[in-house]
Amino acid sequence: MHSRDLIEQYKTYVQEWRRYFHKHPELSNEEFETTKALAKELESMGVEVHVDDVRKTGLIGIIRGAKPGKAIGLRADIDALPVQEHNTSEYKSEVDGKMHACGHDGHMAILLGAAKMLMQMKDRLEGDVYLVFQPAEETGGGAPEFIKFGDWFEKIDAIFGGHVWIDLPAGLVSVEAGERMAASSLFSINVKGKQGHGAQPHQAVDAVVVASAIVLNLQTVVSRNVSALDSVVVTIGNIHSGSEWNVIPGEATMGGTVRFFDPRQEEYIVHRMRQIVEHTALAYGALATLTYEKRVPPTINDESCSALAEQVVIDTLGADKLSKMRKVMPGEDFAWYLQEKPGCFAFIGIQNPDVDAVYDHHNNRFNMDDSVLSAASAVYAEYAIAWLQRNK
Count of beta carbons in the 10 Å neighbourhood of residue 378: 26
Q: Do residues 337 and 331 make contact, with C-beta atoms less than 8 angstroms apart?
A: no
Q: Is 104 labelled a binding residue?
A: yes
- Classify residue 182 by its DSSP letter: -
Q: Is 240 labelled a binding residue?
A: no
Tell me how far apart the alpha carbons of residues 233 and 61 are, in angstroms, rounded to a whole number: 37
Q: Is 163 labelled a binding residue?
A: yes
Q: Is 244 labelled a binding residue?
A: no
Q: Is 16 labelled a binding residue?
A: no
Nearest 5°: phi and psi at 73?
A: -100, 140
Tell me how far apart the alpha carbons of residues 337 and 219 are, in angstroms, rounded to a whole number: 32
CA 335 to chain centre: 9
| Closest-CA residue to 30 (of 166, 113, 107, 135) | 135
Count of beta carbons in the 10 Å neighbourhood of residue 229: 5
What DSSP assignment string belongs to 56-121? T--EEEEEE-SEEEEEEEEEEE--BBS------STT--SSTT-B--SSHHHHHHHHHHHHHHHHHT
Residue numbers in the known binding site for Mn(2+) are: 102, 104, 138, 163, 362
Residue numbers in the known binding site are: 102, 104, 138, 163, 362
